[in-house]
Homo-oligomer: A and B are copies of this chain.
Amino acid sequence: MAESSDVPAMRWWGWGDSARHSPLPAHVVSLLRDTVGVSDPPRPPVALERVRLERSTLGEASVAELRAIVGPEGVRDDHYQRVLHAAGKGYPDLVRLRAGEPEGAPDAVVLPNDHAQVRAVLALCARASLAVVPFGGGTSVVGGLAPLRGEHGAVVALDMRRMARMVELDGESRTVTVQAGMRAPALERFLASRALTLGHFPQSFEYVSLGGCAATRSAGQASSGYGAIERMVLGLRLAAPSGEMDLPAVPATAAGPGLRQLLVGSEGTLGVITELALRVRPAPRVRVYEGVFFESFDAGMQALRSLAQQDAAPDVARLSDEQETRTSLALAGSGGLKGGLGRLYLGMRGYRDRGVLAILGFEGAPEQVAGRRRRALELVRRGGGLAVGRSPGEAWLRGRFDAPYLRDELLTHGVMAETLETATSWSNLKRLHDRVGRAIAEALQACGTPGLVMCHVSHLYETGASLYFTFLAARRAEDEIGQWRDVKEAASRAICTGGGTITHHHAVGRDHAPWMRAEVGSTGLAALRALKSELDPAGIMNPGKLMAPSGRD
């Protein structure tokens, strides 16, 4: 795993660095036992050697041809590598992996070194009818990495980790060009040494590749300030089976339809993004993250809207609903998990059944932050909000990438922990929140596993915002995938019929593909399929993702 990557390998059965272990504190286990129930004894993942994989169907001739392109070390088909690339990190992925029963695995993992090798691999795969799953950080939570072979005889994962080099920094134009396999932390370290930042911090930050962020139309936690990846991408290079597209960095252009924005969000179905140019900004010299308390979720939403519409948006804004606030405070309750929240909790005990907590984070140059923060806090006050100091903000900042680690622990304790998200206009936000929350709660109830359903508003825009749902419930023994599917289906239906988009930043992958007809209509889907036929005539690129096969959506 040493090749030109300084990212620690992900746990094959879960999230993050296997050296890190964060067991649930006793009070959290106790809280879970009282609310959704936990399994006793805990259910750890099976041992790696017990993971069942089909034998690789990739012929020796194909392996030899692939090795001729990427070098002998660039093709892997050992058990560990195949398991590592067998899935992303969605809830059903983890359930299956932990049980040692992934749906499948790539027949080989291929690691190209440069754009030309990617093109050569795609040409070979098209000729040999091998499906290709582009693999960046491996963090998809929507089935984007499922090793589906479609109509093809075998499937390879195209792991971009070796293509992680800096191509160019144009400091004057605040633009950086990188190979697509570069990880977000590596870029941030490079930029930090020049007092710059990209400002893209999805929860998966520690592992994501920049190509993956672009391919999945990712939005980071600080997108209210820095914008989502779609605002950062200035240029792209795509290797497609039918050719290549090289769209250079331009600040803006009116030269026809937005092809850059067509590749952003293409999820490996049109080709492989091999290089991208991104807008960067000065590294913040000041960071203020703080907590604000509102009497109700409604009041909080009104206040966030005023921030977004009155030139006072923080870089990070997250407003928890009543249930999420209650649960966060309870989790932090005895001070174990998050000291700051613990102290806050003590001071707020009286409000815990109705108030809601927001985290606002401001970053930038001192004067700029001061002015924006002053305007924001004034609007918060006018909206009835109460600033409660920095400790909740700092606690959030410390723990901002922790949720996926927590999820692994919850699974071990027999708790299903899943998230899903959408976005809609301000005028529809509360209605959609209630509708989706109710759909999730009712579906969990119908599964016989009533749960905790929580939500926060984040990613502010002038015209609307995102809703991010988290739900916890007991894992339904024997049919955990069916349980997940029932809830996912109910939530997706509520989103699509309620005026939301099926995804604000998790992407489509396999899980949302059946909803693309609702999202873009049959003509929209036909347009995407026409594009795919042109760029990928053999249909080898990431089959089964983004667009369900014709007639199946």
Contacts and interface: CB of A to CB of B under 8 A. Distances in A.
Nearest to A421: B254
Closest 5 CB pairs of A and B: A251-B464, A258-B261, A530-B534, A243-B523, A261-B261
* Residue of A218, A270, A463, A464 contacting most chain B CB atoms (<10 Å): A463
A139 interface: no
B264 A425 contact: no
A74 to B, nearest CB: 25
5 contacts: A172-B425, A234-B463, A245-B521, A253-B504, A261-B262
Contact of A526 (B243, B258, B264, B521): B243
B462 A526 contact: no
A267 interface: yes
A255 interface: yes
A350 interface: no
Nearest to A532: B530
A264 B270 CA distance: 21
B175 A259 contact: no
Given A279-B463, A309-B174, A531-B527, A219 B254 contact: yes
Interface string A63-88: 00000000000000000000000000
Given A172-B427, A245-B520, A534-B526, A257 B251 contact: no
Copies in the assembly, this chain? 2
Contact of A504 (B252, B281, B529): B252
Interface string A483-526: 00000000000000001111111111000100010011111101
A263 B257 contact: yes
Name which of A175, A216, A254 has the most chain B CB atoms within 10 A of its CB: A254
Interface string A376-399: 000000000000000000000000
A426 interface: yes
B258 A258 contact: yes
Contacts of A500: 250
Contacts of A463: 173-175, 234, 249, 251, 279
A279 B463 CA distance: 7
